[in-house]
Amino acid sequence: MVRIVKWLAAALALGVLLLAGVAMALQFWLRTDDFRSRVERDASAALGAPLKLGRLSVDLWPLPAVAADDVRLLTRPPLTIGRIEARPSWMALLGGRLEVATLIARKAVLPETAIDFVGSAMQMKKNKGPAGRTGGKPSEKAEPGTASLTLRRVVLDQVTWIDAKGVRATVNAEMNLGGDGLLDEASVDVVQGRFAGAKGSIRRKGSQWPLRVAIGGGEITGNLQLQPGKTAGVLQLVGLISTDKVEIAALTAPDKPLTGKLQAQTTLRAEFKDVGQLRDALKTETRFTVRDAVLQKLDLLKAVQTIGLSRGGTTQLDVLAGTVTTQGKAVQLTNLVATSGMLSATGNVSIAADKALSGRVNVDVAATGGTMGVPLAVGGTTDDPSVMLTRGAMLGAALGTLVAPGAGTAVGASAGNRLGDALGGLFGGK
């Protein structure tokens, strides 16, 4: 018995020495300039931008992993990852499958523009045939026995996202994928920057994904569902999201064009073949109410009182309600209703992909014997909005000033707008 134990101990020691020897050999091979250059060259061709790698290594502790430090993708601005680790599933490797049990990214900086560039480059490469011409035949499936990559778990440690305006958000997150490659569960904790303090989680139940996000003193809850589309190969994403008592400034920081408590119901739908198409394919409709709202950078009452161009200031509202529809980056606000004391307003406003504003708001101000309605054209951008009289209303305001300054100007603006509507393009549009 003692002899058997000794043989087992010797075999175990030999196995450890062999494993250590293999690891040392791999370390030496991975650190050679030839191997690093080959990886950089192949990855650069696949990603559409030069890739530079720092130290490559094989770690045995706490779990076996292949790692790369100081990864830089030289887009403008660059995408950087302090350290990325891939921990393979050894049982899968023995079966001829390349399965990454865990992928970890630490201290990464991911600019939105860099991600968009890489996505476009990879899509163009995917659309090219084997001869490098667009419209070629799709590549054949891998032959039996060829290793295919499967990912099971992703961990993000201090990963920073930078949007197109340069606003940062740093998160810690963990995602687990099922055998079909779809998300099983995920959790996100925003530790710094935009949405700091927000925490979210989602967990799969059959073909549905219930979610919950705590943010801005309230919460966002809902359910997403992924199902086959009407066309072969197309997926359809549908969902219903509820927003309860969320401070709206927490969703728009650091700009904060609007403050107040948000209540909303959102429906969403998208049909897509590739995940990269999801953002442009996504359509949403939200019916919302904001109570105790303050509209920043715009003073509607001043715009009415001065009958002219208005920039800056604030507008305090008891209630702001309406409907928001989106398609990709374009936003449409319809059925807007705002009330506050002696002021009320209705209108429709569009927000283009470049954040330019266009639309029309009719502002009613209580006056002796009734109300005065003044039509205002909305312009500028979300960062610098402006309102001014519609062109038809300008004529009426000028005539009203001749009759009676002050109140006559506002009444004339309302009448002039109706005149402009009736005469159409005579005054260059509405």
Rounded Cα distance between 355 and 385, Å, is 10
Lowest mean pLDDT among 137-146, 165-174, 226-235: 137-146
Q: What is the CA radius of gyration of the chain?
A: 30
- Would you place residue 356 in the very low, low, confident or very high pLDDT band (cuts 50, 70, 90)? confident
Helix count and strand count (H, E) for the chain: 9, 21
The pLDDT value recorded for residue 4 is: 53
The pLDDT value recorded for residue 93 is: 60
Q: Do 254 and 194 form a contact (C-beta atoms < 8 A)?
A: yes
Would you mind telling me the total number of residues written for the chain in this entry? Answer: 430
Tens of pLDDT along 311-335? 678 888 899 899 999 988 788 989 9
The pLDDT value recorded for residue 306 is: 67
Tens of pLDDT along 55-107? 888 776 666 778 899 999 999 899 999 999 988 876 666 666 667 889 999 99
Non-local CB neighbours of 95 within 8 Å, separated by 6+ positions: none
Using a pLDDT cut of 90, give the percent of the chain over it.
30
Determine the residue type at 30: L
Single out the residue of 133, 127, 104, 111 nearest to residue 49, CA to CA. 111
Long-range contacts of 269-276 (CB under 8 A, 24+ apart): 269/236, 269/237, 269/238, 269/239, 270/236, 270/237, 271/229, 271/231, 271/234, 271/235, 271/236, 271/237, 272/234, 272/235, 272/237, 273/233, 273/234, 273/235, 274/123, 276/119, 276/122, 276/123
Rounded Cα distance between 355 and 400, Å, is 35
The pLDDT value recorded for residue 314 is: 86
* DSSP-assigned letter for residue 134: B
The pLDDT value recorded for residue 368 is: 45
Parallel/antiparallel/unpaired status of strands 98-111 and 149-151: parallel
The pLDDT value recorded for residue 94 is: 60
- Would you place residue 378 in the very low, low, confident or very high pLDDT band (cuts 50, 70, 90)? confident
Point out which residues pair with 149 in neighbouring strands: 98
* DSSP-assigned letter for residue 276: G
Highest mean pLDDT among 7-21, 152-166, 312-326, 375-389 belongs to 152-166
| Mean pLDDT, rounded, of the chain | 76
Residue 94 DSSP SS3: helix
Does the structure show a pLDDT above 60 at 395? no
Domain map of the chain by residue range?
39-129+148-204
Q: Do 237 and 270 form a contact (C-beta atoms < 8 A)?
A: yes
